[in-house]
Amino acid sequence: MAKDSAVKEELSLEERQMRFQEAQLEFQRQQLELQKAAQVTQKELQRQGRKKRNDSAPLVSPMNPQGEKDHPMPLLKCEFWFGPFNYRDGLLAGLTWEEVELINLLKPGEYQIRMNDDALQSCCVVATMNHETGEMYKLELKGPRDDKGQHTSLFTGRSHRFPSMVSMLRQLVNGCADEDRQIPQGPANDVLSMKERKRRVHLPNEDPLHLPISIGE
């Protein structure tokens, strides 16, 4: 009987501890809700107090030197995986205009890319399709297939061997660079580099190569 009584007392203590933890969690949840509500109110008050020109900022950035307000970057044609990094519409932070255009030119297949040490590396552009609509919704860069027919990981070993993302994309779109490390002619050559896009933004307005820039209101 004494043993049964000890078990009951032990269970009772566990129940009390659980209830105490639940009460703490509920209190924390309520606190978070109050903080969120206060932040929303503060942001709305700040927004209402801004000047009109700040409500329509040009949104010029290193990714888009023309400004998102009047000259938005193109959208990705589908979700894109570059190693562990995932890019999709609405999450384009970190991608430049040049990179987006090059990604949209990618086609599924197996290619060779030239590494920084001049070695050739097999790289597969793998597409995932929607079986119902036939629409492509994901592109990934992967390594060659193993003995079981499964794609291996591309970004293994010493990462410094890999060229920049832009260089890889240009090689994949046009074909591997030749022995002189020159990327052959192809669709990627019609894509402006970020250096060239920035240069054209600063050209005089009357220059035929000038690119317009967004203006704040």
Q: What is the DSSP string of 65-108?
A: TT-TTTSPPPPPSSEEEETTEEE-TT--TT--HHHHHHHHH--S
Report pLDDT for 126: 94
pLDDT single digits (tens) 129-169? 888 888 888 999 998 888 888 888 888 766 678 888 999 99
pLDDT of residue 50 exceeding 70: no
Least confident residue range of 78-82, 87-91, 105-109: 87-91
Q: What is the dihedral of CA 101, 111, 108, 145, to 10 degrees?
A: -140
pLDDT of residue 105 exceeding 70: yes
Structure tokens at 202: 């600063």
Q: What is the dihedral of CA 203, 208, 209, 212, to 10 degrees?
A: 70
Structure tokens at 41: 């109110």
pLDDT of residue 2 exceeding 60: no
**Are residues 79 and 91 in contact, defined by beta-carbon separation less than 8 angstroms?**
no
Highest mean pLDDT (candidates 67-76, 96-105, 180-189):
96-105
* H helix intervals, the chain: 2-49, 52-55, 97-105, 165-174, 194-201
> Which pTM value belongs to this model?
0.70
Structure tokens at 176: 């591997």
**Are residues 137 and 143 in contact, defined by beta-carbon separation less than 8 angstroms?**
no
pLDDT of residue 82 exceeding 60: yes
Least confident residue range of 115-119, 187-191, 205-209: 115-119
pLDDT of residue 195 exceeding 90: yes
In eight-state DSSP terms, residue 178 is: -
**Cα angle vertex 193, ends 190, 198, to 5°?**
125
Identity of residue 30: Q
Q: Percentage of the chain surpassing pLDDT 90?
A: 33
What is the side-by-side order of every strand in the sheet holding 79-82? 85-87, 79-82, 136-142, 120-129, 109-114
Q: Percentage of the chain surpassing pLDDT 70?
A: 68
Report pLDDT for 130: 86
- Give me the chain's average pLDDT, please: 79
